[in-house]
Amino acid sequence: AQTVTQSQPEMSVQEAETVTLSCTYDTSESDYYLFWYKQPPSRQMILVIRQEAYKQQNATENRFSVNFQKAAKSFSLKISDSQLGDAAMYFCAYRSAGDYKLSFGAGTTVTVRA
């Protein structure tokens, strides 16, 4: 199974500031997909952003963007202009092309200070 590592158990950010969450993964595949999921206290798993490994351009969804470094096997998430509603646990996930399964990191808890 692929290994996904999130080295930051917790991160804190001031409202309106920017926070970056790190994610690294281990794979020998060349074609795969990466995801960031958000889990607020309600426990829902909400897709934040996705990245196809064959695309060089970093994905962006409103205030959320990624820095995808394929050679370094790194997939960080940047949250800009942080809002109180961004407080949640964030999971990085990996899926190999042609495989049904997702491999998840352990998660990073983001706290937003008012």
Partner 1 sequence: NAGVTQTPKFRVLKTGQSMTLLCAQDMNHEYMYWYRQDPGMGLRLIHYSVGEGTTAKGEVPDGYNVSRLKKQNFLLGLESAAPSQTSVYFCASSSEGVWNQPQHFGDGTRLSIL
Pairing assessment for the beta strands 108-113 and 10-14 based on DSSP bridges: parallel
Residue 45 within binding range of partner 1, rule CB under 8 A: yes
| Site membership for partner 1, residue 64 (CB under 8 A) | no
Which of the 8 DSSP states describes residue 15? T
Token duo for residue 12: 């804190």
Interface with partner 1 includes 25 (CB under 8 A)? no
Binding residues for partner 1, how many (CB under 8 A)?
Answer: 26
How far apart are the C-alpha atoms of 104 and 97, rounded to whole Å? Answer: 16
In contact, 67 and 73? CB cutoff 8 Å: no
**Entry field: residues in the chain:** 114
- Selected binder of partner 1 within 28, 42, 56, 57 (CB under 8 A): 42
Q: Does 40 bind partner 1 (CB under 8 A)?
A: no
In the chain, the N- to C-terminal Cα span, in Å, equals: 40
47: contact with partner 1 by CB under 8 A: yes
Q: Hey, which residues between 76 and 95 contact partner 1 (CB under 8 A)?
A: 91, 95
Residues engaged in binding partner 1 (CB under 8 A): 1, 4, 6, 9, 33, 35, 37, 42-45, 47, 50, 52, 91, 95, 97-102, 104-107
